[in-house]
Structure 1
Amino acid sequence: MPNPGGYALVLNPTIVAPRRTCKFSRVLIDDGSSINILYRNTITKLGLEAKDLEPTQTIFHGIVPSISCSPTGRVQLDVLFGNSDHFRREPLWFEVVDLSNAYHALLGRPALAKFMAVPHYTYLKMKLSGPKGLITITGDYRKSLECARHGTKLAESLVIAEERRKLNRIVALASEMPAVPIPAEEPTDEASFKPSKETKKVKLNLDAPSCSKYVVVGTRLDSK
C-alpha cells in the first residue's frame, strides 16, 4: 500500500433499522470524533423518518470548515461487524444530520469503545473481539482515496454556498438601511478667510527706518 498512514479507515458494517437492514460500504472510522453520525442519504436507505428520531441538543463542528451543524435528532440502531459465521452486534446512538456526505456514516469514539475495537491506520484494519475470538475487518486504500476526493468537492461546494448566503444577507441588510444624506459643501466665497477692511500696516522694527517688513493689524486693537 502506498503512503501508509495517509488514508482514512473506511469499513463496511451492517446497520440494523426497524424497517430495513443495510450493509454500507463507506463508513468512516474516526477516533477523533466524540459522536456517531448518520447522513441524509443513509436515513433514506434505512427507511427512517422524522418520527423515528429523538430530540437532541448536540452541536458540532469539523464536518465542513468554519460551519457548525445541529442534528435533526438522534436514533439508536444496532451495528454489526463481521460475517454470517462470526460477527459482533452492538447498539449505538447516532446523531442524524441533514447533510450529504461522501460517507454513509461516521463511527467515532463511542462506537470504538462499545465494540472495544482497535483501529490500525497503517494497514487499514480494525480488530475487535467476537463470540468466537478475534474479528478483523480490512479496508481498501482505493476506496479511501475515492471518498476523500468526493468529500473535498462536497466540502468546497458547501463552503461556497455558505459564503454566498452570507453575502446575500449583507446585501439585503444594506438595501434596507436608509440612505444617509451627504452634507453640501460650503461655497468657496463663504468658507474662505476674509481680512477686515479696517486695518493698518505696522512696521516690525521701528528703530530701523529702512526696514520694509510690516504686519497688517486691525485698527480697533488696543495700542498695547
Structure 2
Amino acid sequence: MNEDNHPTRGMIHMISRGATDGDSGRAGKARGRRLENFEIYRGADLPQDTVVSFGPEDLRGIVAPHNDALVVTATIANYDVAKIFVDNGSSVNVLFKSTLDQMKVEGFEFEPVSTPLYGFAGHAIPPLGQIVLPLSLGTVPRRVTKMIAFTVVDTLSEYNGILGRPALKDFKAVASTYHQKLKFPVGKEVGALCVDQMVARRCYEGIVKEDGKKTSVELNMIRKGRNE
C-alpha cells in the first residue's frame, strides 16, 4: 500500500452541466455576457474583501462530536423562515411550494422554468418556476440583504428551503459544518448565522424515516440537467 497516495494515476473531474439562474432567453444572454467578460485575479488585482475566518471561540455551545448539517433561519420577503438547509453542493436555491404558499408574497414576478432538477437518486423533479425574493442573513447591525433567485418545487421536504451555491456566492458566505456556522462579510465586519443542532437533527431523522417513500432525501445535492 502506498501510504502517501503518490504517484497519482490520473485526474477525475466533477461532471457538471446546466444553468444556475433559470433557462429563459434573458438568463442565457446574461450567462453569455459573463463568459465573455471574465477576469482572472492576480496579485495586486485581488479583491480586498473582509476576511472571514473561524476559530476555537466559534465552537462555544456546539454539541460534539457531530455530523450535523447546516440548517439555519433566515428572513425571506419579510418572513423569518426556519429550517433552511445550507448546501454548497446544490446548483440552485430552492423554495418549496408549501413554504411559498404560507408566505403569500405579492408583487414579485414568477418566471416559468422547464429544466428539471436531479438529485443523487437521478429522478427528475419538475420545478414550478423561479421567483426572485429579498433574502436577509444575520441580525442588525451585522445584517445584509440581497435579491436571490429561488427555484420553486412542489414536493415533500423536512426543510422549508435550500441555500445553494448561487446564494452563498452572492453573500460571499463561508459555511463550516464543523463550527455549525455560516459567516459572511457585512462591510468591514463579519456576520454569522448559528445553527440549532437539535433542529438539524430532527430534520435529518425525518428524512431518514421518509427515505423509503422517495421524498426530500433526493433533493440533497440538487443539480440542473441530467449530466450537470
Deviations 1:8-46 (A, max 9, x none): 100111001xxxx21011000000000000112111111
Deviation at 1:88, TM superposition (A): 0.2
Match of 1:157 in 2: 213
Provide TM-score, normalisation by structure 2. Answer: 0.62
**Count of aligned pairs between the two proteins:** 152
Deviations 1:145-187 (A, max 9, x none): 100011222332236xxxxxxxxxxxxxxxxxxxxxxxxxxxx
Match of 1:125 in 2: 181
Q: Give secondary structure in 1 for the equivalent of 2:82.
A: coil
Q: In 1, distance between residues paired with 2:178 and 2:150?
A: 27
Q: Which amino acid aligns with 1:11?
A: V
Deviation at 1:125, TM superposition (A): 0.5
Q: Which amino acid aligns with 2:101?
A: T
**Alignment pair present for 1:13 and 2:69:** no
Match of 2:157 in 1: 101
Q: In 1, distance between residues paired with 2:192 and 2:86?
A: 14
Q: In 2, distance between residues paired with 1:76 and 1:52?
A: 7
Q: Give secondary structure in 2 for the equivalent of 1:110.
A: helix
Match of 1:220 in 2: none
Equivalent residues of 2:130, 2:149 under 8 A apart: yes
Q: Which amino acid aligns with 1:60?
A: L
Match of 2:134 among 69, 78, 81: 78
**Alignment pair present for 1:142 and 2:203:** no
Q: In 2, distance between residues paired with 1:90 and 1:149?
A: 32
Q: Which amino acid aligns with 2:65?
A: N
Q: Which amino acid aligns with 2:169?
A: A
Match of 2:167 in 1: 111
CA distance change for structure 1 residues 8 and 142 in 2, over 3 Å: closer, same or farther?
A: same
Comparing 54-63 with 120-129, greater Cα deviation is found at: 54-63
Structure 1: which 4+ aligned runs deviate by more than 3 Å? none
Larger radius of gyration: 1
Deviation at 1:58, TM superposition (A): 2.3
Q: Which runs of 5+ in 2 are unaligned?
A: 1-62, 216-228
Query: For the aligned residues, what is the CA RMSD?
Result: 1.9
Q: In 1, distance between residues paired with 2:95 and 2:132?
A: 11
Q: Give secondary structure in 2 for the equivalent of 1:13.
A: strand
Match of 1:45 in 2: 102
Equivalent residues of 1:79, 1:89 under 8 A apart: yes
Q: Which has the higher contact order (CA 8 A, sep 6+)?
A: 2
Q: Give secondary structure in 1 for the equivalent of 2:140.
A: coil
Provide TM-score, normalisation by structure 1. Answer: 0.63
Equivalent residues of 1:40, 1:100 under 8 A apart: no
Equivalent residues of 1:56, 1:71 under 8 A apart: yes
Q: In 2, distance between residues paired with 1:104 and 1:11?
A: 10
